[in-house]
Amino acid sequence: MKVLNFTLMPYRSMDVPASKEHRSAWVVLPNTFYDPEKGAHDYESYIDLLAQSEPLGFDGVCVNEHHQTAYGLMPAPNLIASALIQRTKKIKIAILGRALPLVNNPINIAEEFAMLDNMSRGRIIAGFVRGIGAEYHSTTVNPYYSHERFHEAHDLIVKAWTQPGPFPWEGEHYNLNYVNLWPRVYQQPHPPIWIPSQGSIETIEWAADPSRKYPFLVTFSAREAVLKNLLAYKDQTQKYGYEAQPSQLGWAAPVYVAETLEKAMSESRSAIEALFNDYLTLPMEMLLPPGYTSVESLKKIIATKKAIGRAGFGGPNQRQSLERLMELGTVLVGTPESILNQVEQVKEKTNLGNFVSMLQFGTLNNELTQRNQAMFASEVMPKIQKMQ
């Protein structure tokens, strides 16, 4: 298996009690909560942390894109990827991903990935996402056209990477007279495309299509959902008449490892609970703006009375404890053996080939993050990498 190292780059100094006066840590949390001095320190620490991944033996590092939130300070993840290209020599750099529908000209994304691919001599993995619901509020892109824009932008970018330019693009959402990338991509036919997702059958059908076979990465989900989605992907590949390769299946989860379960829990508790309860506060209206999901999916959510009561994630009545998150398998916290055991269980059932460990999360400070990362890299990762 391959193991990649990921951080969301949260703003760790967020004044959590004061932030609770606002609807969410997304879109509307005043940026006066951001102290540039502390933020600059966070950037430096996170880049150092990810750069250490290469000597520690990781197969790759991951960054991702989020806008107008304390949850993640990477509105432009390619800037971080570019810095990491300079700090590493061999490992993969996965941008998981860029939110295609949020830009007005997808060629901007095609160009930036092409630059990174050249600058890294082919170490880039290109993740394609739609962005989360809140980002349709912050960018004002119409969520009703999110799926359409994603698919058209994807088709345009892949064509720009693989067909000689210049050529015109005559689309529904994008119209360009000259598509002619300088530079061309370094990897042939193009950088690997991954699809990080919390899973929907439409996404799985699309990603697993024989013309694409895009690796599917289930992010921040309970174990049950991870298994369900990875198995659904495998089923889908069989329906298409082929077997999914392990490299097509991935899982991303927060991990905290220590000598004992008690130590792991006490050291990670406040940071993990902050991530899920304070940084991921998303009322339904932000999480699922109209059109972001299909009418059918939204009807299902509304039909479930329970779901109406739930104001998205992180509402006051649904604070998730560390114990609960561990029980659900959303986070992996414990001794090296217990973490290996949990990864092994998913490996046995799905034969997944990529594991993305998030070793810094929420408010976890540098000291604990370093300790977590070092122990994970020495005691857990080599055994995951040996899993066949």
Partner 1 sequence: MTDTSNTNNTCRVGNVNLHLRRAGRGSPILFLHGAGGISEWTPFFNDLSQTHDVWAPDHPGFGLSEDPSFIKSMSDLAMFYLDFMDTYAPKGGFHLVGHSIGGWLAAEIATRNTQHIRSLSLISSAGLRLEGVPMGDVFMWNAEEAVKKLIFDPNVQEKRLNAQPTPEEAEIIVRNKFTFAKLAWYPRLFNPELKKWLHRIKVPTQVIWGEHDGLIPKEYAKLWANALNTNTCTVLSQCSHSPANEKPAETAQLIKTFLGKHAE
- To partner 1, the closest distance from the beta carbon of 140 in angstroms equals 5
**Closest CB to partner 1 among 211 and 295?**
295
Of 51 and 298, the one with the shorter C-beta distance to partner 1 is 298
- Smallest distance from the beta carbon of 292 to partner 1, in angstroms? 9
Helix axis angle, 223-239 to 201-208, nearest 10°: 50
Q: In angstroms, what is the minimal distance from the CB of 92 to partner 1?
A: 36
The torsion angles phi and psi of 122, rounded to 5 degrees, stand at 85, 30
The DSSP result for 154-187, as a single string, is HHHHHHHHHSPSPEEEE-SS-EEEEE--SSPPSS
Chain-centroid distance of CA 312 in Å reads 19
Q: Which is nearer to partner 1, 192 or 291 (CB)?
A: 291
- CB-nearer residue toward partner 1: 140 or 175: 140
Q: Cβ of residue 132: shortest distance to partner 1, in angstroms? A: 15
Q: How far is the CB of 144 from partner 1 (least distance, A)?
A: 4
CB 117 within 8 A of CB 84: no
Q: Which is nearer to partner 1, 23 or 383 (CB)?
A: 23
**Strand, helix or coil at 46?**
helix
Please tell me the distance from the alpha carbon of residue 358 to that of residue 364, in angstroms, as a whole number: 11
- Please state the closest distance from residue 223 (CB atom) to partner 1, in A: 31
Residues 142 and 102: their CA atoms lie apart, in Å, by 9
Token pair, residue 294, equals 């299909």
Helix (H) or strand (E) holding 92: strand 92-99
Closest CB to partner 1 among 31 and 140? 140
CB of 155 to partner 1, least distance (A): 19
Of 280, 276, 213, 281, which Cα lies nearest the Cα of 247? 213
- Residues of this chain that bind partner 1 (CB under 8 A): 23, 28, 136-137, 140-145, 283-286, 289-291, 295, 298-299, 302-303, 311
Residue 58 contacts by C-beta under 8 Å, 6 or more apart in sequence?
3, 4, 5, 91, 377, 381
Cis amide bond preceding 189, omega within 30: yes
Beta carbons within 8 Å of 22's beta carbon, 6+ residues apart: 28, 29, 30
Q: How far is the CB of 28 from partner 1 (least distance, A)?
A: 8
